Amino acid sequence: MPPRPSAMSLIPQDFIQELLGRVDIADVVGRSVQLKKAGTNYKGLCPFHTEKSPSFTVSPSKQFYHCFGCGAHGTAIGFLMDHLGLSFPDAVRELASQVGMSVPEMPQDPGTAQQVREQRSLKQTLQEVLEQANRFYRDQLRDNRRAVDYLKGRGLSGKIAAGFGLGYAPDDWQGLARVFPNYEADILIQAGLVVGRDTQGETIEPGDLDGRTIARRYDRLRDRITFPIRNTQGELIGFGGRILDQGEPKYLNSPETLLFHKGEELYGLFEGRAAIQRQGYALVVEGYLDVIALAQHGVGHAVATLGTACTAEHVKKLFRHCGQIVFSFDGDAAGRKAALRAMEATLPMLGDERSVKFLFLPAEHDPDTFVREYGADAFEREVGRAQPLSVFLLDTLANGLALDTAEGRAQAIARARPLIGQLAESALKAQIIGEFAKRVQTPAAELRQALTPAQGMRSPKRDSGENDRRPSPSLAARRASRMLTPRTDHVQVHAQTAMRILLAHPELWDSLSSSQHELLMHDGSTTEQLARWLEARLDAFPGMSASALWESLRLDGLLEQAQAMGTADMLDADPSVVRQDLFGALRWVELDRIERRQDELSRGGLIDEASKAEFRSLLSRRRELS
């Protein structure tokens, strides 16, 4: 990836996103161009070329300007740069001053640029150190009979342990000194591998080493089974450790580091992405061993939070891989409480194409013990009986209240305001309100009014003429074909079409399955880099708007590549139309992938049952797509 210009890279991405969310591009452009209302947009004479009839449009909803005459396009930041000749930092400062925001420090001296390079280098070094430790832990597991017997006692095979990279941290205060001769190096503390304490005995956090005197150092994980934790790109970012005998804490995770943030990561997501896509849902369990035991029994689509309650970031990440989440909790009071927190985290992300369920196993079981005793089929049957979120929500609202009294019903409505208010307007929300109305014996229309105050002000209704300018499918198709870069490989053309749509409408990325993500990220063309970049960007900043994404492309030196593909021509297209074009393009990409794999299998002679079965499976999928 091209290096970022230093002055631009010093402005945080989240600040750019917030800034573009606050400014009104119509106001910004309107200071230089006379604009007139045209439906939901504004029109005017283009300031970038001479014209008599207005072809310059500004979209407040999408925060973009676009000229159909000369092709000029961009965000409010881009307009100030192109029209007023401001630099990127100056354009950001100007916009920030207009909305009362303070721009983070943007020093441009060589020393600061060096700091940026050093942090990038530090991340790489941290990952290398973690990988070294991981190799050491895995070697230790092979040589420690007690640790091996513990895993066998938990029903785990050597194959599954190797697949998840399990290891063993020896019962030694400074065991890592065997692999790191310079045990005094601060990088071991920064990676979370070693605990440092000051002269007062206080723990020094990995990011708080400057100026601190370290009086004592020792391994964080000792006499524990180690579980390497990887991000969605497969990079090692931390460890979990499980004690072998009795003791507290039973589980111990890496601390917060430059690489590891437990409120954002999920154990097993990297290993289980393909299974999650196949099954169509992710199963969220409570522990590492639950994930591994389920995978050994063929339930490979389980993930676990890392010693923390489920967060909104966890939910966003999962919904990028599937449309349904099933949470598995103990049936006791603690499990119900955890389920309530999970429900609250998911409510803002729910919609008609997403669903959440809650699985409460018998009190004497967790997923690990249940699947070992009864098998995967019995466990899947339990999942099939999981409680939909709507039922769990309504039961929670009524819990402990006498709904046969006016007081009880009023209390239930009061409970409902902060919860139902988080749901986006959808058929699901209407159904939940309808069911709740029956329980509290209140007409649905009146109930909606009773729930409204706590929901805050809703955005105004769309202008009745908003859809008047919606382009027809044929127009969208013509635009797509007009902007194709000349290539002999028609599959790469389809991949470009898909990427052009996704960069202009990033919200569609979440509507794709993980296998479709993989298609774009491994298609072997120039779109592969953009697809990998897009996944990483939306992983870091879920819900990023198209305008913020546009400026993110600029910051990462990829804007010209996106523009050359004709991405801007998709900005004003209707999402429902281009969504069809997107899935059509991906269909062709997948067909090509299938055909190439079938050719490989045929050249191999189809001499074993596995290759024959795969060929038949591909043939079936090819027929579906055709």
Check residue 398 and give its pLDDT. 95
| Least-confidence region, from 104-108, 267-271, 294-298, 330-334 | 104-108
Structural domains of the chain, with CATH: 6-98 (3.90.580.10), 111-253 (3.90.980.10), 269-385 (3.40.1360.10), 395-455 (1.20.50), 471-625 (1.10.860)
Q: Give the per-residue pLDDT at 5.
A: 39
* Per-range mean pLDDT, top range of 125-139, 301-315, 358-372: 125-139
- For 437-496, write each residue's pLDDT tens digit: 999 999 998 999 898 754 333 333 333 333 333 333 333 333 333 333 333 356 677 888
**Segment 38-52, tens digit of pLDDT:** 888 999 998 877 678
**Span 596-600, average pLDDT:** 82
- Checking if the pLDDT of 523 tops 70, the result is no
What is the three-state SS of 418-471? HHHCCCCCCHHHHHHHHHHHHHCCCCHHHHHHHHHHHHCCCCCCCCCCHHHHCC
The pLDDT > 90 percentage for the chain reads 40
Query: Which amino acid belongs to residue 101?
Result: M
Token couple for 328:
């598995």
Averaged pLDDT for residues 257-272: 92
210 in Cβ contact with 112 (< 8 Å): no
Contact 585, 497 (CB under 8 A): yes
Angstrom distance (rounded) from CA 563 to CA 554: 10
- Residue 88: pLDDT band (50, 70, 90) is confident
Please report the pLDDT score of residue 465 as a whole number: 37
**Given pLDDT bands bounded at 50, 70 and 90, which one contains residue 67?**
confident
Pairing of strands 355-361, 36-38: unpaired
pLDDT number for residue 584:
86
Say if residues 136 and 178 touch (Cβ distance below 8 Å).
yes
In this structure, the chain runs to a length of 626
Give the three-class secondary structure for 94. Answer: helix
Tens of pLDDT, residue by residue over 319-341, are 867 779 999 987 778 888 889 99
Whole-structure pTM value:
0.60
b/e burial code for range 228-245 (CB count within 10 A of at least 16 → b): bbbbbeeebbbbbbbbbe
pLDDT for the residue 420: 93
Q: Which residues pair with 204 in a beta bridge?
A: 196
**Residue 173 DSSP one-character state:** T
Average pLDDT in the 495-500 region? 86
Backbone torsions φ then ψ of 268, nearest 5 degrees: 90, -5
Which residue pairs, CB below 8 angstroms and at least 24 apart, start in 114-117? 116/6, 116/9, 116/10
pLDDT 10s digits, 211-254 = 788 999 999 999 999 999 998 778 899 999 999 988 888 999 99
How many angstroms separate the CA atoms of 133 and 145, rounded?
Answer: 20
